[in-house]
Amino acid sequence: MIHFIGAGPGDAELITVKGMRLLGACDVVIYAGSLVNPEILKYAKKDAKIYDSSCLNLEEIIEIMRKAHNRGQDVARLHTGDPSIYGAIREQMEKLNELGIPYEVCPGVSSLTAAAAVLKKELTVPGVSQTVIVTRMGGRTPVPDRESLKSLAEPKATMAIFLSADKIKKVVEELADSYNPDTPAAVVYKATWPEQKVVVGTLKDISKKAKEAGIDKTAIILVGDFLEGKYEYSRLYHTAFSHGFRAAGNSCGKPGCREGMP
């Protein structure tokens, strides 16, 4: 079995319990060495064979998986953050389909949610934005025209821009037609790593601030009014609002529900 595992954003404690357990049970580990914190390898079996995929191409990665599988060994394939976001796992899974090798995916904490945690922000605040756009600037991997930052900017939703810290000036230019120049923006570099850096500002100055901080890679750019300013309380905990688990007013009526309340 091949286990694609989200290794989390950096902090070795931010792999899931399941991911850690699977990693500890595999004889072969292939980790994305360019971004996965090598400290996570401490959870691997002592005698596991470990490969860094940053020096491998797709065929070589699949070959390692195939050989291990033929020997009856399980493989942990560690991806940074969550494998479903810019993880390049689809082609690996399709190759495994062709070879009839079984695999599973164990999710991870994306650098997006890690960045929100570092900033202590809610990405979806009522009355401001209920939508998160996860995107990137076109680079060596192009982005379809209809998904240009300019067009995605129109709804002024919460915007999380990956893989674009080196192009932050251009990012800001593309957003300028829709977002007000005073819109809050933040750049989180290496969220949850010891060398983490956080830069906050507005669309007007974020590019300059990020440059001054020397950030040009491994960073998430977050833009939107969710970062600062007015919002509405969620109905979820609102007294006058009832839902499946709680009646309007106070108690849901279940015994013990308000036990220990002051």
Q: Give me the residues that bind ligand SAH (CB under 6 A), please.
A: 9-10, 35, 79-82, 85-87, 110-111, 115, 162-163, 188, 190-193, 218-220
- Taking alpha carbons only, the member of 143, 174, 252, 261 closest to residue 134 is 143
DSSP assignment of 17-38: HHHHHHHHH-SEEEE-TTTS-G
Output 164 or 183, the one with its CB closest to ligand SAH: 164
Residue nearest to ligand SAH (CB): 81
Write down the least CB distance from residue 229 to ligand SAH, Å: 24
Min CB(103)–ligand SAH separation in Å = 17
Q: How far, in Å, CA of 179 to CA of 154, rounded?
A: 8
Sign of torsion over alpha carbons 6, 8, 11, 14: negative
**Least Cβ distance, residue 198 to ligand SAH (angstroms):** 10
Tokens at residue 17, please?
């319990």
**Smallest separation, CB 6 to ligand SAH (Å):** 7
Angle at 212 between CA 196 and CA 140, to 5 degrees: 75
Pair 113, 134: CB distance under 8 Å: no
Nearer Cβ to ligand SAH (152/191): 191
How far, CA to CA in Å, does 2 sit from each of 41, 95, 110, 142, 145? 17, 12, 21, 29, 35
Residue closer to ligand SAH by CB (options 77, 190) is 190
Nearer to ligand SAH, 53 or 80 (CB): 80
Q: How far apart are CA 20 and CA 39, in angstroms?
A: 12
* Structure-derived torsion over alpha carbons of residues 166, 58, 26, 28, reported in degrees to the nearest 10: -100
Shortest distance, position 190 Cβ to ligand SAH, whole Å: 5
Of the pair 68, 160, the CB lying nearest ligand SAH is at 160
Dig out the tokens for 73 from the structure: 């060994």
Nearer to ligand SAH, 110 or 129 (CB): 110
- Shortest distance, position 137 Cβ to ligand SAH, whole Å: 10
Locate tokens 């495994």: which residue?
Answer: 96
